[in-house]
Amino acid sequence: MSYHINHVLLLALTLMAMHQSPVGQSVTLAIGSVFIFNQVPGPLNIHCKSAYRDFGPRTLPIFDVFEFNVSVVIGKSEVYSCDMSSRNLHGRFDLFDSMTDWTTERCGIKNFDCSWKVAEDGIFLFSAEKRDYVAQYPWSK
């Protein structure tokens, strides 16, 4: 799907949902998942939160996956940011932004998921469109 069609579809869905929504009630456009694969050579300390939810600090064993569900709600911008560290690697990265990641180029649209690979050489997002991991962030210096 092209960038243009993607945005026309998004607009159409938004208008449809708004039409059906009583004033003041939140309307969920989509529900998806965020997957974070630990591929650094060791345990990964990770703490993800948004303005509304906090998953608490945890330690992810090597090659393990941390998963949480997210939703896209009309009029509600939500950004999930994760503090991550492992030995000499550290940084804080936005791993889901409801305003920019719900697209074919990034996490997909239908049953979307944001699949992240956390590796020694950086943080990668699986692109639904490219069908491959694409580098997004280097570790902090």
Ligand X SMILES: *[C@@H]1O[C@H](CO)[C@@H](O)[C@H](O)[C@H]1NC(C)=O
| E strand or H helix at 49 | strand 44-49
- Please pick, from the candidates 20, 25, 69, 111, the single residue that binds ligand X as defined by CB under 6 A: 69
What's the rounded Cα separation, in Å, for the pair 137 and 37?
A: 15
Minimum CB–partner distance for residue 114 and ligand X (Å):
13
Cβ count within 10 A of residue 17: 14
What's the rounded Cα separation, in Å, for the pair 18 and 12?
A: 10
What's the rounded Cα separation, in Å, for the pair 21 and 15?
A: 10
120 makes contact with ligand X (CB under 6 A): no
Nearer CB in complex with ligand X: 44/89: 44
Task: Name the residue with the smallest CB distance to ligand X.
Answer: 69
Minimum CB–partner distance for residue 126 and ligand X (Å):
17
54 makes contact with ligand X (CB under 6 A): no
Nearer CB in complex with ligand X: 33/136: 33
68 makes contact with ligand X (CB under 6 A): yes
Nearer CB in complex with ligand X: 89/115: 115
- Please pick, from the candidates 54, 67, 120, 121, the single residue that binds ligand X as defined by CB under 6 A: 67
64 makes contact with ligand X (CB under 6 A): no
Going from the C-alpha of 82 to that of each of 61, 79, 86, 120, 132, the distances in angstroms are 16, 10, 13, 16, 22
Query: Based on C-alpha coordinates, what's the Rg of the chain?
Result: 16
Q: What does the binding site for ligand X look like in residue numbers (CB under 6 A)?
A: 33, 67-69
